Amino acid sequence: MRRGPSVFNRISIGAGLVFLYAPILLLMIYSFNDSRAVNVWAGFSTRWYTALFRDSQLMGALWITLRIGVVSASIATVLGVMAAVALARGGLFRGRTLFSGMVYAPLVMPEVITGLSLLLLFVAVGLDRGFWTVVMAHATFTLCYVAVVVQARLSTFDTALEEAAQDLGCPPWRAFFAVTLPNIIPAVAAGWVLALILSLDDLVIASFTSGPGSTTLPMRIYSAVRLGVSPEINAVSTLLIGAVAVGIAVYGSVSRRRTAPARA
Amino acid sequence: MAAIAPYLWLGMLFAFPFLLVFKLSLSDVALSMPPYAPKFDPGNIGRFVRALDLDTYGRLVSDPIYIKAWLSSLKIAAISTALLVLIGYPIAYGMARCSSGSRQLLVLAVTLPFFTSFLIRVYAWVAILKPAGILNAGLHALGLPPVAVMNTDAAVYIGMVYAYLPFMALPLYAVLEKQDESLIEAAADLGATPFRAFWTVTFPMSLPGVAAGALLCFIPIVGEFVIPDLLGGSSTLMIGKTIWTEFFNNRDWPAAAAAATALLITLVVPLMLYQRQQARVLR
């Protein structure tokens, strides 16, 4: 028998949720403020949004950021699924400890270290910093998140199906594409979405690895924030939060529709 | 088989560059592009070892600002992690005691902020805490005097707790949720007060979750840059900020590399504990 939550439990959950969501909600509300000052409410207005779409620098940065995100998330997904398969099915291969170390360490590694070390690599091999260096840097740290998400799904997936396919003469790679992949595809998609979001969000690693023509949106937001709070940044932030919320809602409903018949 | 490509990729782009950081930390600053003169030439190890001097490290140790930044990073990370346990535990404990339907919803609610931009979530606090911000406007409306939180260590702690709370609450919840309720009932039957039952049964059994959450928060917080930069003041010293400033503002790449090496060495033990714990989860 599970005891229900006590008054204290309810208060801690409530306070925790207020703490997590109030700052974001305040930011969104103030993006519709007609005044430039944050401490005065001067009425509802969407003028900061119209100003945004006229800001060609910002729109350019958004476009670069999206392209980097989609390309790096796709590379990260391919490599991350391979890493997950190796971790979940590989058994004890040589260098497994080092391999799992390299998969898990980037999840907690301070970004300044990852960013600086990647930059030095690009300088050492004589690669000009720009679009592709940011893509490679983002693919490197996001592939680890994909690997963790997919590996969690693989570890609950019955290996008997793969073994049956192989017993019937399927080569391992074909068993993977015909049996395993269709079963883990929701986790693979979730990994891709997570990699995309992390790439769109990254400031520190992009700052180290980008070149003159590849300033990303977080870099633009950061330099604007350094100059102070502005309603334009509130508006950009609200749009980004909205985009992520819509993305998660769409993903949630699609994956529910996919898994519903399987459960029945 | 499947390991080969990600193995090579991570080896090339994650592990190998640490050697480059270490190598650069032994170089001299130079007015060229890239702005350093290599001292370490792999083809001439003998001469390098004879001429080995740790100039950059010497500079870091002799300038008290670096030592202070390093110590202050450890202090801020330790206090933030302790605050996260104190604030995250009651939330995770409350979540674990809800019905399974609301538990799923709450896990989603705690996870969602992780998907909104880290930079934007920190920036939201700038708008709240700055002198003419939302907090002081609210205090003014209530007839209370304004508070000066922005650009202090207090603002940094608020930002750290805010940004890392999901990383603390979720591992704690994962452990607390699995706990067998009958143990608490047994303690109560034997006459333990609810507090004593919690303190002698629930809490010790949840320590693996505390350790998991603490490592997930402590390691990145030691090297955190965005939060001390945007919410902290000029007196808030953190090693992540030092690395950034040396690299981008002072263009002193060897000093940035030496500070990064020092940070990495500091994190070796926590990282090993974290890896051991991940390996246990895998099994």
Neighbours of A217 (CB within 10 A): 26
Q: Is B28 helix (H, G, I), strand (E, B) or coil?
A: strand
A118 at the B interface (CB within 8 A)? yes
Q: pLDDT over 70 for what percent of chain A? A: 93
Nearest chain B residue to A123 by CA: give it: B34
Contact across the interface for B119 and A4, Cβ inside 8 Å: no
Q: How far apart are CA B28 and CA B39, in angstroms?
A: 7
Answer whether B119 sits within 8 Å of A6, measured CB to CB.
no
Look at residue A44 and give its three-state secondary structure: strand
Q: Which residue of B has its CA nearest to A15?
A: B91
Kindly report the number of other CB atoms within 10 A of residue B54's CB atom: 12
The answer to whether the Cβ–Cβ distance between A241 and B119 falls below 8 Å is: no
Distance (Å) from the C-alpha of residue A237 to the closest C-alpha of chain B? Answer: 6
Would you mind telling me the total number of residues written for chain B in this entry?
Answer: 283
The answer to whether the CB atoms of A12 and B127 lie below 8 A apart is: no
Sign of the dihedral defined by the CA atoms of residues B233, B236, B239, B245, in that order = positive
**What ipTM is given for this predicted complex?**
0.87
Q: List, for residues A118-155, the tens digit of each pLDDT value.
A: 999 999 898 999 999 999 999 999 999 999 999 988 88
* Residue with more model confidence, A91 or B31: A91
Q: Does A101 contact B91 at a Cβ distance shorter than 8 Å?
A: no
Closest CA to B122 of B97, B157, B92, B91: B157
Higher pLDDT, B31 or A261: B31
User: What are the structural domains of chain B?
Assistant: 1-53 (no CATH), 60-282 (1.10.3720.10)
Residues 6+ apart with CB under 8 A from B24: A120, B36, B253, B254, B257
Q: From the centroid of its chain, how far is CA A16?
A: 23
pLDDT bracket for residue A263 (50, 70, 90): very low
The total of other beta-carbon atoms located within 10 Å of residue A207's CB is 23
Q: Which residue of B has its CA nearest to A154?
A: B282
Instruction: List strand residue ranges (DSSP E) for chain B, in order.
Output: 28-29, 36-37
Confidence of residue A262 (pLDDT cuts 50, 70, 90): very low
Of A239, A242, A227, residue with least CA distance to A36: A227
Radius of gyration of chain A (CA): 22
With cut-offs at 50, 70 and 90, classify the pLDDT of residue B248.
very high
| Cα A99 to Cα A83: distance, rounded to the nearest angstrom | 9
The pLDDT of A203-223, averaged and rounded, is 93
Q: What percent of chain B has pLDDT over 70?
A: 90
Tell whether the model's pLDDT for residue A258 goes beyond 60: no
- Pick from A185, A111, A99, A100: nearest CA to A141: A111
Q: Which residues in chain B have Cβ-Cβ distances shorter than 8 Å to A233?
A: 123
Mean pLDDT of A228-257: 80
Residue B196: pLDDT over 80: yes
pLDDT of residue A261: 46
Q: Tokens for A141?
A: 């740290």
Question: Residue B4: how many CB atoms within 10 A of its CB?
Answer: 10
- How many residues are listed for chain A in this entry? 264
- B37 phi, psi to nearest 5 deg: -110, 125
What confidence tens digit (pLDDT) does each residue in B19-72 have?
989 888 887 776 556 677 665 555 555 555 555 557 778 777 778 888 999 999
Alpha-carbon gap, residue A132 to A249, rounded angstroms:
31
Taking CA A58 as the corner, what is the angle to CA A55 and CA A64, rounded to the nearest 5 degrees? 140
Residue B77 has pLDDT above 70, yes or no: yes
Q: Are residues A197 and B115, on separate chains, in Cβ contact within 8 Å? A: yes
Which residue type, as a one-letter code, is found at position A115? G
A9 reaches B (C-beta below 8 A): yes
- A237 and B93 in contact by Cβ < 8 A? no
Distance (Å) from the alpha carbon of B7 to chain A's nearest alpha carbon: 6
| Domains with residue ranges and CATH for chain A | 56-228 (1.10.3720.10)
Distance from CA of A92 to the nearest CA of B (A): 12
Sign of the alpha-carbon torsion through A207, A212, A218, A221: positive
> Given this model, what pLDDT does residue B42 score?
58
Phi and psi torsions of B149, nearest 5°: -105, -35
Q: What is the distance between the alpha carbons of residues B245 and B251, in angstroms, rounded to a whole number? A: 8
User: Rounded mean pLDDT of A229-254?
Assistant: 82
Distances (CA, A) of A39 to A2, A84, B4, B127, B131: 46, 49, 56, 9, 10
| Least confident span in A34-38, A159-163, B88-92 | A34-38
Residues of A in contact with B240 (CB under 8 A): 110, 112
pLDDT of residue A257: 60
Within its chain, how far is the Cα of B18 from the centroid? Answer: 19
Query: Crossing angle for the helix pair B207-222 and B153-177, nearest 10 degrees?
Result: 150
Of A26, A83, A113, which has the smallest distance from its Cβ to B263's Cβ? A113
For the segment B251-278, the average pLDDT, to the nearest whole number, is 90
| Chain A contact set for B134 (CB, 8 A) | 26, 30, 38-39
Q: Do B123 and A27 touch (CB under 8 A)?
A: yes
B274-277: Cβ within 8 A, 24+ apart: B274/A104, B274/A105, B274/A108, B274/B215, B274/B216, B274/B219, B275/A100, B275/A101, B275/A104, B275/A105, B277/B208, B277/B211, B277/B212, B277/B215
Q: Which of B13, B219, B282 sits opposite A100 (nearest CB)?
A: B282
Residue A129's contacts (CB-CB under 8 Å, 6 or more residues apart) are A119, A122, A209, A210, A211, A214
- CB nearest to A117's CB, from B9, B17, B91: B17
Listed range (A190-194, B35-39, B244-248) with the worst mean pLDDT: B35-39
Helix B153-177, helix B118-129: angle, nearest 10? 130
Q: Is B211 a residue whose pLDDT tops 90? A: yes
Structure tokens, B155: 């603002």
CB contact under 8 A, B34 and A123: yes
Chain B touched by A178 (CB under 8 Å): no
From B6, B181, B223, residue closest to A83, measured CB to CB: B6
Here the tokens at position B179 are: 């706990």
Residues 6+ apart with CB under 8 A from A159: A89
Yes or no, beta carbons of A140 and B2 under 8 Å apart: no
Burial class (CB in 10 A: 0-12, 13-18, 19+), B228: buried
**Rounded mean pLDDT, A173-177:** 86
Arithmetic mean of pLDDT over chain B: 87
pLDDT band at A218; cut points 50, 70, 90: very high
Predicted local confidence at residue A264, as pLDDT: 33
CB contact under 8 A, A143 and B6: yes
The pLDDT score that the predictor gives to residue A259 is: 53
Q: Which of A129, A116, A134 is nearest to A65 (CA)?
A: A134
A93 interaction partners in chain B (CB closer than 8 Å): 3
